[in-house]
Amino acid sequence: MGALSGLRIADFSRVLAGPYATMLLADMGAEVIKVERPNVGDDTRTWGPPYDASGAATYFQSVNRNKQGITADLSTVEGRAKAFKLISTCDVLVENFAPGTMDKFGFSYQELVKEFPGLIYCSISGFGTSEQARELPGYDLLVQAMSGLMSITGSDSEHPTKVGVALVDVVAGLHASLGIVAALNHRNATGAGQKIEINLLSSALSAMVNQSGAFAGAEVTPRALGNAHPSISPYEVYPTQDAQIVIAVGNDVQFAKFASVIGFTLAEDPRFATNPERVNNRALLNSHLLPLLAAKGVGEWTSELTAVGVPAGPINTIAQAVNLAEELGLNPIVDIVDPRSGSKSRTIANPITFSATPVEYRLGPPTLGAND
C-alpha cells in the first residue's frame, strides 16, 4: 500500500508542471486517470526526438508513468459527460489549461464544488488569473525570461541564458503536489475540499530563494555571474590540468583546508581570511588560485579535497551522473513492464524513499486512450 493508496485523481493537465505533479502522487499510490484529447493527446507525445525503443517521445514518457489514460473531447456534450462522470468519482482534479478554459466547459471550481464539496481542485497557470495574466501564455521559457531567472543565469548580464531543463515547470509541479497533500490533510480534518492555485511566475520567484530574497530584503537586483556565487567564494568552476572542477567552499574552516591542500599560502591574508572579504576580492583570489589548480587534474584534486572535507567534483554528463548514482547504490533507473500492453519503458526513479510505504511503479506511461 502506497502512502496515497485510495486517492483518485482526475488529471486534465498536459505538458510538464501538472503531469509531473500527478506522476509523483501516482508513484505514492494514488490512482491517476489522465484525460487527453482524442486522436491528439498531450502535446508532448510529439515532442521528439529522442524516442524510446517503443517509438514514444521520451519527454512524454518522463512524466506520465503510473497513470491510466482516457480520451474526452470537452468541446462535445459526450466528452463533457464522460469527464463529469470521472470527476464524480475522484478526490482531486488537476488542470493547467489557459485560465477560463475549464469554466467554459462547465468545470469551474465554483460549479463543481456545489456537487462535490470535498473536491480538491488544483489549477496551474503561467501568470495567475487576472485579466492581464490571462493574455500571457504560460510556457516555461517565457516565464524563465519574465521572472528574472534568465537574468541571473549565463556568463554575464549581456548573455541571459535559460536553465537547461524546464525548471520552472518542475518547481511549479512540486508546489502543486505539496499543495494537494496539504489540502488532503485539511479535508481529512474538516471534510471540506478547496481550490489550490499555482502559477509559474510565483513559483519561479520563490525558487530563486536567496537571489529574489536579495531584492525583497535589501533591494539588491542580482546579476549573472556565470558559475560564480554572489555571496560565497571560492564557489565556482575552475580549470585544472585536464578538465574543469567545481570548488564549493562554504565556510572559513573549509577554506583553510582548501588552501592547505592546493598550496595557497595567503589564506590568513586579511583580503582572503573571511568569506565576505573573499567575495569582495574574488578576482584577486582567483588570480592566485588558477595557476595552483592547473598543476593537477580534476581527478587528483577531487580525491585530495574530498579527503579533507572540502566539496569538490567534476562536471558530469547526465550519463556520468546516472553511473555515479548507480555506484552509490541509489538505483536511478527503473524498468517498467506495462500490464496493459506488455510494453517496456525505462524511467528515472522517484527520488523519495519511504521506510513504510515505498513508491510503486505499477504502470508505464499510457498509450493514448489506453483505458477508454
**What positions carry a catalytic annotation?**
169
**Strand, helix or coil at 95?**
strand
* Sign, Cα dihedral of 107, 108, 113, 118: positive
> What whole-number distance in Å separates Cα of residue 321 and Cα of residue 300?
19
- Read out DSSP for 262-307? HT-TTTTSTTTSSHHHHHHTHHHHHHHHHHHHTTS-HHHHHHHHHH
Amino acid code (one letter) for 111: E
- Measured CA to CA in angstroms, residue 292 lies from 224, 256, 263 at distances of 26, 15, 7
DSSP category for residue 207? H
* Peptide bond between residue 50 and the one before it cis (omega within 30 degrees of 0): yes
> What whole-number distance in Å separates Cα of residue 127 and Cα of residue 136?
7
- Output b/e per residue, 309-328; b: 16+ Cβ within 10 A: ebebebeeeeeeeeeebeee
